[in-house]
A and B are shown apart, each in its own frame.
Chain A
Amino acid sequence: KAGVTQTPRYLIKTRGQQVTLSCSPISGHRSVSWYQQTPGQGLQFLFEYFSETQRNKGNFPGRFSGRQFSNSRSEMNVSTLELGDSALYLCASSVLRGGGETQYFGPGTRLLVL
Chain B
Amino acid sequence: AQSVTQLDSHVSVSEGTPVLLRCNYSSSYSPSLFWYVQHPNKGLQLLLKYTSAATLVKGINGFEAEFKKSETSFHLTKPSAHMSDAAEYFCVVSESVGSSASKIIFGSGTRLSIRP
Residues of A within 8 A of B (CB): 4, 33, 35, 42-45, 48, 55-56, 90, 92, 97-108
Are B34's CB and A102's CB within 8 A?
yes
Point out the residue from B34, B101, B107 that lies within 8 Å of A55, measured CB to CB.
B101
How far apart are B71's CB and chain A's nearest CB, in angstroms? 21
Are A45's CB and B104's CB within 8 A?
yes
Residues of B within 8 A of A (CB): 29, 31-32, 34, 36, 42-46, 49, 51, 90, 94-96, 100-109
CA distance A106 to B29 in the complex (A): 29
Are B51's CB and A100's CB within 8 A?
yes
Are A56's CB and B43's CB within 8 A?
no
Are B102's CB and A106's CB within 8 A?
no
How far apart are B23's CB and chain A's nearest CB, in angstroms? 14
The closest CB in chain B to the CB of A50 belongs to: B100
CA distance A15 to B28 in the complex (A): 40
